[in-house]
Amino acid sequence: MAADPASLLIVDDAPENLTVLGECLQPLYRVRAARTGRRALRIAASLPQPDLILLDLMMPGMDGYEVIERLRADPITSHIPVIFVTGMSGSQAELRGLETGAVDYIVKPIVPEILLARVRMQLELKQTRDRLCRNNLQLEAEVLRRTEEKELIQEVAIRSLAHLAETRDPETGNHILRTQEYVRRLAEELRRLPRFAATLTDGYVQMLIRSAPLHDIGKVGIPDHILLKPGPLDASEWTIMKTHARLGRDAIDLAERESLRAVEFLDLAKEIAHWHHEKWDGSGYPDGLCGDAIPVSARIMALADVFDALISRRVYKEPLSYASARHFIEAQRALHFDPDVVDVFLAHFGDFCAIADRLADISSNPTGNGPHPT
């Protein structure tokens, strides 16, 4: 099936010139004509758009230079190639015409064979550009699809690992979902502060959110008789319990080292798993870091994790009310938690309560053995 002929727009204020051009071009192409620049702009912006414009330079009102300037300034018409067809000869005139964005410059009087050859060449070039553009769009769409698929697989894998850890922890329910949303909300507000702006970039925040579910992955290495003990831990048991931070860091580090290439978000996952039990005043574990020595990711995770633990039911405790949890965290400002993180939490406390309500556990297991607090 033959392709439709290309569509041309010829623009000239002289009817006799339009007639000459039309007689040359109409046997091969669909031709529309305009005698003014304004009319040419309207046709160029309407459907079906011309594949090529042949434009006179010297016209009253709006000359060819202004017409091409407006064509190029409008995203709807900027892609249409323009050939100047003019009585203005000389290298300076031709150079100016090409510098304005014309693809070719033909001097009158018209030689039909030369006109048709140059029109055919520019149409072939346009077809090539259009094909490349379509191919690029298809390639970009495929890259986007594969990127989204990879990110989805990555997110599912992270969630699977996190849930695997929580199979050891039968009462945590939606804990990983809630803490992930708390982290998101804290990061969104903290990035507005000059102190955090350089760190909490868009990319960092996305990786932080993605990494958050792995914060307690190290619990898979804690024996059941300690992890699920309903009563207080003795000193030796507590020492073992605290190793889950290093176990989580080491597991992620091993996975990263065995990867064929660096996985950027795993750096944050290691920070969170390793240091989310550190405290601002240096009394936390495993390394006794204090203040800004604690990575931003771990400081944010610390508050998110503690808030959710406070308001959640466990076999060894009843949940605190939102008000009591707020009071506890406020009292731990500059002790357990970064003061700015606490201030943001308090300023948007209603948002955190709403997240907790939206992702509340559907059921609990009050008679089973629950995990010991960490």
Residue linked to tokens 């003019």: 86
- Tell me what pLDDT residue 366 has: 34
In DSSP terms, 317 is beta-bridged to: 314
The segments of the chain whose pLDDT lies below 70 read: 1-2, 147-173, 259-262, 315-316, 362-374
- Tell me what pLDDT residue 219 has: 86
Phi, psi of 335 (to 5 degrees): -110, -70
- Tell me what pLDDT residue 358 has: 95
DSSP string over 147-168: HHHHHHHHHHHHHHHHHHHHTT
Which residue type does 169 have?
D
pLDDT digit string (tens) for 272-284?
999 999 999 999 9
What the chain holds in terms of domains, given with CATH numbers, is 7-138 (3.40.50.2300), 167-358 (1.10.3210.10)
- Tell me what pLDDT residue 349 has: 97
- Tell me what pLDDT residue 201 has: 96
Residue 181 near residue 374 (C-beta atoms within 8 A): no
- Tell me what pLDDT residue 153 has: 57
Residue 332 near residue 342 (C-beta atoms within 8 A): yes
- Tell me what pLDDT residue 97 has: 80
pLDDT digit string (tens) for 94-146?
888 888 889 999 998 889 999 999 999 999 999 998 888 888 888 888 887 77
Angle between helix 175-190 and helix 349-358 axes, rounded to 10 deg: 160
- Tell me what pLDDT residue 172 has: 54
Dist. CA 370–CA 374, nearest whole Å: 12
DSSP string over 245-281: HHHHHHHHHHHHHHSSS--HHHHHHHHHHHHTT--TT
Strand segments, DSSP code E, in the chain are 7-11, 30-34, 52-55, 82-86, 104-107
3-state SS class at 85: strand
